[in-house]
A and B are shown apart, each in its own frame.
Chain A
Amino acid sequence: MRNLFALIAGGLFGAGLFISGMTDTAKVQGWLDVFGNWDPTLAFVMGGAILPMAVAWQLTRNRRPALGGDFPTPPEPKVGRNLVIGSVMFGMGWGLAGLCPGPSLASLSYGGIGHWVFAAAMVAGMLVAVPFKRRLTAMA
């Protein structure tokens, strides 16, 4: 059951990314490029996605997940060094290619070789992140 609903959730996510145009790197870069031909589409996507999610968070109150277990507890509201360094690195890569993890996966079937190269590098980066994060934490 968990796997079935994960498949459904992933399917909705992938369909949304596809329909919204967020696998089009020009649209993402167009949104980031405030000095170029600015494209506001991404803001509509974000707004559209946040609405059902905000309702979902309200529904988690005094309830449990339908398939058991507990809802994720909110992390300590602390903006640490890892969050800042990681987000800046992510943003740089996002700007360079116009791809982030979700759309990168959603576009694998039709984006062509470039999308596979990006995804492979992203997976490699996720492996590199393990020792990198350990070092950052040790330095703190």
Chain B
Amino acid sequence: MIEQDWIWGFVGGLLIGLGGAVYLLVNGRIMGASGILGGLVDGSGKNSMWERISFIAGVILTPIALYPLYGAVDTHVTSNMAVLIAAGLLVGVGTRIANGCTSGHGVCGISRLSLRGISATVFYIMAGGVTIVLFRHVLGVI
């Protein structure tokens, strides 16, 4: 049995991949969220500043347009600010050290059968799984 969430996941995934395909085939760039944002944050992507800003604007804007169709969307985000800050720091530092996240290493890397992309994905999924088990089931923090 295929649940509805899975179908929407697949449809959304196709759109994500389509976005990556446009960014690659038209702009000649790899669609990695952490790289696009990180290059703006640390100034390393100054030459392509407006391209990066335009991409990020698109990411933020389409959910605003779609939101009314859905009504309330609960993201179930934790209200524990310490957890959010620690998590954000880890994600920011980690993705820049590793040169990629779920979109760059995951979607773009795996689809070109990149050893680095596949390895990174294995490492972050394993680390995420261990973290969930530790902090949810052992420590009961999240």
Contact = CB atoms under 8 A, between A and B. Distances in A.
A124 B60 CA distance: 19
A54 B30 CA distance: 13
A18 B12 contact: yes
Contacts of B23: 5-6, 9
Given A87-B124, A120-B88, A20 B99 contact: no
A78 to B, nearest CB: 7
Given A101-B34, A111-B75, A125-B88, A95 B135 contact: yes
Contacts of A123: 37, 41, 92
B129 to A, nearest CB: 5
B74 to A, nearest CB: 7
Contacts of B92: 93, 121-129
A57 B108 CA distance: 9
A44 B73 CA distance: 20
Interface string B121-142: 1011111111111011100001
A140 to B, nearest CB: 12
A92 B54 contact: no
Nearest to B70: A18
Give the secondary structure class of B's interface: helix
Given A49-B14, A52-B14, A91-B126, A97 B83 contact: yes
Interface string A60-101: 100011111111101101110011111111111111111111
A93 B19 CA distance: 25
A112 B133 contact: no
Contact of B54 (A3, A44, A68, A136): A3
12 contacts: A5-B22, A6-B52, A8-B58, A15-B66, A17-B12, A33-B133, A48-B9, A60-B25, A95-B131, A97-B88, A118-B77, A126-B34
Interface of B: 5-31, 33-34, 37-38, 41-42, 48, 50-64, 66-67, 73-79, 81, 83-99, 101-103, 105-108, 110-112, 114-116, 119-121, 123-133, 135-137, 142
Interface of A: 2-27, 29, 32-36, 39-42, 44-57, 59-60, 64-72, 74-75, 77-79, 82-102, 104-112, 114-115, 117-130, 132-133, 136
The 3 closest A-B pairs by CB, nearest first: A125-B92, A48-B13, A20-B12
